[in-house]
């Protein structure tokens, strides 16, 4: 099928590449000319494992091309909207980019009217699909579908090629059939439903995953007080098939471009209907206080951070991505600087992004280098490069052998044997 993908960020680029790999003729559109220029040369503007190689292949095959102007895709049967829906000042989802894309589609459709589907892949408040359908009511032959995205940064391409499920919200059977044709060959359970259901499935999924994380983070605080081990507790819980092992790890709190904004958007959406989602409110509260609780664990060992050198290992909100949006590292660095500490930070990919916000700290080429002369090292993101270290050497190079493991990812036995004082999250 002929497909246009509007917005070539984490979701749009991955969608465009995966659809092209699945045999569709895809046109990727982005407002940012420099991004389009890079993409045409086969350079991915984002770091995502395997994506650049796949991009080069589909460009060579001629199944994917990039432009800044949507009229280049005027004969597309399907328009995917993959633009950002960031948090507005009042916590609701800002639909400015989405509405801009809809108005671009309206113009292009008037130039080349035909049967087509506008698919909203961006995460949007319940009712947005109805709103967009209303805006496009004058465009004959246009249907609006909701097809939320569930990919995880760090494994985005694989998730797009082998999704856990495909959720399609439509209001007519013809649009459902076209969407089925688009995803023909992709093995995944289908949920074909209404647009509003599809939209809420996305918000509910993210809110539930955030809930699991905050539940474990709060439990980790109790575990610390009781002297129990949250890693063992999590394992014991996760083996119950009703619970499952995913998203049961305690840490420094969730970040990224989705959970923070989607949980607040869902709360605001509920409030518009006079419903208070009290559990979700607490989920956000626990998450907001988790980095501070983590630093308290450091301060129990090192009460005065003034003039102390602290190594911060890992800056992105999770490993295998360059995304630093809402990363806990940002809050931690800020708090450390406020307490008068000197920060040396390392991240395999994310340092350049963070250095724009924190030019005053030192960025090193390796985790071991960040630890040299440090009074404590904090693991904030469990990149392999931050986890697998020569502990004896690191021990020799530090001013004080204190490790505070914000991801429970360091080998606690091995580091203790190397002579470190080791503190995990909720670990005995
Ligand atoms: P992003 O900020 O990385 O990319 C958005 C892109 O859209 C940018 O390149 C921007 O230049 C472009 N854009 C904006 N308006 C445009 C227009 N009118 N025409 C063409 N291009 C335009 O965003 P993202 O992380 O890919 O997220 C996109 C949506 O998908 C959001 O709603 C997000 O909540 C949702 N989502 C994201 C993820 C994720 O892991 N990042 C996962 C699932 C869902």
Atom of ligand 1 nearest to the CA of 122: 32
Q: Are residues 154 and 76 in the same domain?
A: yes
Tell me which of 149, 174, 193 is where a domain ends: 193
CA gap 13, 19 in Å, rounded: 10
Nearest to 75 by CA among 116, 34, 46: 116
How would residue 275 be classed by pLDDT, with cut points 50, 70 and 90?
A: very high
Mean pLDDT of 341-357: 97
Residue 71 C-beta-side C-alpha neighbours within 13 Å: 3
Binding positions: 30, 35, 85, 123, 150-153, 202, 247-251, 255, 261, 318, 325
| Count of domains for the chain | 2
Within-domain flag for 246: yes
How would residue 428 be classed by pLDDT, with cut points 50, 70 and 90?
A: confident
Whether residue 236 is predicted with pLDDT greater than 80 in this model: the reply is yes
CA 85-287-384 angle, 5° bins: 85
> What is the reported pLDDT for 423?
97
Going from the Cα of 257 to the center of ligand 1, the distance in angstroms, rounded, reads: 10
Q: Are 170 and 143 in contact (CB under 8 A)?
A: yes
Within-domain flag for 17: yes
In tens, the pLDDT along 384-401 reads 999 999 999 999 999 999
Handedness of CA 259, 262, 265, 267 (dihedral sign): negative
Whether residue 232 is predicted with pLDDT greater than 80 in this model: the reply is yes
Mutate to test the pocket of ligand 1, among 6, 7, 96 (most ligand atoms within 8 A of CB): 7
Q: Are residues 237 and 185 in the same domain?
A: no
Q: Are residues 177 and 296 in the same domain?
A: no
Within-domain flag for 294: yes
CA gap 215, 217 in Å, rounded: 5
Q: Are residues 281 and 345 in the same domain?
A: yes
Q: Are residues 181 and 235 in the same domain?
A: no
Q: Are residues 293 and 251 in the same domain?
A: yes
Within-domain flag for 428: no
Q: Are residues 95 and 137 in the same domain?
A: yes
The backbone region for 244, taken as left when phi is positive above 0, alpha when psi lies in -120 to 50, beta otherwise, is left
CA gap 59, 47 in Å, rounded: 18
> What is the reported pLDDT for 187?
95
Enumerate the active-site residues. 258
Within-domain flag for 210: no
> How deeply is 341 buried, as exposed, middle or buried, from its count of CB atoms within 10 A (0-12, 13-18, 19+)?
buried
- Beta strand 342-346 with 421-423: parallel, antiparallel or unpaired? unpaired
Tell me which residues have their CB closer than 6 angstroms to ligand 1: 6-12, 29-32, 35, 82-85, 97, 100-101, 104, 122-123, 149, 151, 153, 257-258
Q: Are residues 182 and 262 in the same domain?
A: no
The DSSP-derived string for 217-274 is HHHHHHHHHHT--HHHHHHHHHTSTTT-STT----S---SSSHHHHHHHHHHHHHHTT
Within-domain flag for 207: no
Q: pTM for this one? A: 0.96
Q: Are residues 241 and 346 in the same domain?
A: yes
Q: Are residues 11 and 123 in the same domain?
A: yes
Backbone phi and psi for residue 322, each to the nearest 5 degrees, phi listed first? -100, 5
Q: Are residues 236 and 180 in the same domain?
A: no
Whether residue 365 is predicted with pLDDT greater than 90 in this model: the reply is yes
**Which CATH number goes with the domain that contains 285?**
3.40.50.720
Within-domain flag for 60: yes
> What is the reported pLDDT for 183?
98
Q: Are residues 270 and 359 in the same domain?
A: yes
> What is the reported pLDDT for 301?
95
Q: Give the structural domain span for 167.
A: 2-193
Mean pLDDT of 147-170: 98
Nearest to 208 by CA among 128, 148, 262: 262
Within-domain flag for 206: no
Mean pLDDT of 51-71: 98
In tens, the pLDDT along 101-142 reads 999 999 999 999 999 999 999 999 999 999 999 999 999 999
CA gap 257, 296 in Å, rounded: 26
In tens, the pLDDT along 11-48 reads 999 999 999 999 999 999 999 999 999 999 999 999 99
């Amino acid at each position: 099928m002929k497909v246009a993908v509007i917005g070539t960020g984490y979701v749009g680029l991955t969608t465009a590449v995966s659809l092209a790999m699945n045999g569709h003729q895809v046109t990727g559109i982005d407002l940012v000319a420099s991004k389009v220029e890079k993409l045409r040369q086969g350079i991915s503007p984002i770091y995502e494992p395997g994506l650049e190689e796949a991009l080069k292949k589909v460009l060579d095959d001629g199944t994917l091309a990039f432009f800044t102007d949507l009229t280049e895709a005027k004969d597309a049967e399907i328009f995917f909207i993959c633009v950002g829906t960031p948090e507005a000042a009042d916590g609701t989802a800002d639909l400015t980019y989405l509405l801009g894309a809809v108005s671009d589609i309206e113009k292009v459709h008037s130039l080349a009217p035909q049967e087509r589907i506008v698919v909203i892949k961006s995460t949007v408040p319940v009712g947005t699909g109805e709103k967009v359908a209303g805006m496009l009511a004058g465009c004959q032959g246009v249907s609006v579908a909701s097809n939320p995205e569930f990919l995880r940064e760090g494994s985005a391409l694989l998730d797009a090629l082998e999704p856990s499920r495909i959720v399609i919200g439509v209001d007519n059977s013809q649009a459902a059939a076209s969407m089925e044709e688009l995803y023909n060959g992709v093995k995944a359970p289908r949920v074909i439903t209404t647009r509003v259901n599809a939209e809420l499935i996305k918000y509910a999924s993210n809110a539930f995953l955030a809930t699991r994380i905050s539940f474990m983070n709060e439990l980790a605080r109790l575990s610390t007080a009781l002297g129990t081990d949250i890693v063992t507790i999590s394992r014991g819980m996760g083996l119950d098939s009703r619970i499952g092992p995913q998203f049961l790890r305690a840490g420094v709190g969730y970040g990224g471009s989705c959970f923070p904004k989607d949980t607040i958007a869902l709360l605001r959406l509920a409030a518009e209907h006079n419903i208070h989602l009290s559990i979700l409110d607490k989920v956000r509260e626990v998450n907001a206080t988790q980095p501070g609780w983590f630093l308290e664990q450091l301060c129990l060992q090192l009460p005065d951070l003034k003039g102390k050198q602290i190594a911060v290992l890992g800056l992105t909100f999770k490993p295998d991505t360059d995304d630093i949006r809402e990363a806990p590292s940002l809050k931690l660095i800020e708090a450390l600087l406020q307490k008068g500490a000197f920060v040396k930070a390392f991240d395999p990919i994310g340092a350049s992004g963070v250095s724009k916000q924190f030019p005053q700290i030192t960025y090193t080429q390796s985790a071991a280098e960040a630890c040299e002369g440090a009074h404590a090292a904090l693991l904030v993101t469990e990149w392999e490069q931050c986890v697998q270290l020569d502990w004896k050497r690191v021990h020799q190079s530090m001013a004080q052998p204190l490790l505070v493991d914000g991801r429970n990812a360091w080998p606690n036995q091995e580091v203790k044997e190397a002579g470190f004082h080791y503190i995990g999250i909720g670990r005995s």
